[in-house]
Structure 1
Amino acid sequence: MTIKLHSSVLSKFCLAISLVSIPWATAISAEPVEKTVNANGVATLAGQWVYRSLKNIPDPNVEIGDMKLLVAVIDIPPFTGTHFTGVMTATEHGKDVRHLLEGDIQGDRFTMRAVQGNKTTEGWVYDYTGWLVPTWKEGKNQIPTFVGSVMRVTEHPFPGGGTSHANASYTIIGMKK
């Protein structure tokens, strides 16, 4: 079954998802990234970001903490054009997780692939797609946020791991270095 959403519906959905309170997340003192859109009006991912992913469990009785997959920091150096690279790092289940990132951004949408960045993530491959959440016209202290979907391309035995092509949702929230 294919579901088509009008872009304004998708934007409102993405905004609603970004406003969800996540009690299991570590409190991080983040200030807005200085520039979310470049001179050409294209969203930029350059900078440091907090990444949080959740299992897509359609049961309202499941606690949000039971849906947690990964909390990480993403570093993307400045780039020109639409192609970018970066690194995602985290400590989960007592293991250091590191992914090398490569992707493209067009307008307010990006796609990215994460591959092995250390021995823990050997053979792991994840694909991401995401959108910049629009800012409120009269909003205050707004932090640049991307929301989207991640798909595990390869199977792996890590806790929380599983079959290939499993999907999850995520937010990426801007931090100031």
Structure 2
Amino acid sequence: MIDNPFVGKWSYRSLLNDPDLKLAFNDLEFGQGVIEINEGPMQILTGVIGGPGWSLALKGSRDYGSPMHARFQGVGVVGGEQWIYDYQGYLVPHWPNGVQQRPAMVGSVIRTIPHSGSEPGTVSPAGVVASFYAVKFD
């Protein structure tokens, strides 16, 4: 049994924080991928987050509490330029009457430095904040 509930693989999705309910759900997508958190001391977090065409090394910390908390930074080179994102997440507490509840982490992510956008000639600016959730699958 793993004593550290953050260790393992998580499906990751992040959404822009736009309050307009008329906006299509798909238009809120900020990112998606897989987070893999390595075994290690409870206070230290290492791992990787990535998807098709991108990968960031994770380094940070995790803490006991109610709820348990993780804060980490993802750093990597994607398409020849540096990407840096910072994450803060909270382990969703277990519901006593929950049905088939899976471990989940919810939180916030910020683009720490700008990088090229998905369209040629565009820039994804620093400072954009999105919400994320991740569901453990391994």
TM-score after normalising by structure 1: 0.69
Counterpart of 2:60 (choices 67, 85, 103) is: 103
Q: What CA distance in whole angstroms lies between the structure 1 residues aligned with 2:13 and 2:55?
A: 15
Long gaps (5+) in structure 2: none
Aligned pairs for 1:119-158 within 5 A: 119-120=78-79, 122-158=81-117
Report the secondary structure of 2:26's partner residue: helix
Q: Which runs of 4+ in 1 moved over 6 A?
A: none
The residue aligned with 1:163 is 125
Count of paired positions: 132
Aligned pairs for 1:15-164 within 5 A: 38=3, 44-91=5-52, 96-107=53-64, 108-116=68-76, 118-120=77-79, 122-159=81-118, 162-164=124-126
Richer in helix (by share): 1
- 1:119 shift after superposition: 3.8
After superposition, the C-alpha distances for 1:91-124 in whole angstroms (9 at most, x for unaligned) are 2xxxx011110110011011010001x4427311
Report the secondary structure of 1:169's partner residue: strand
TM-score after normalising by structure 2: 0.87
8 Å CA contact 1:44–1:105 kept in 2: the answer is no
Richer in strand (by share): 2
Q: What CA distance in whole angstroms lies between the structure 2 residues aligned with 1:136 and 1:64?
A: 27
Q: Per the alignment, do residues 121 and 136 of structure 1 end up closer, same or farther by CA in structure 2, a change over 3 Å counting?
A: farther
Long gaps (5+) in structure 1: 1-33
- 1:81 shift after superposition: 2.8
RMSD: 1.8
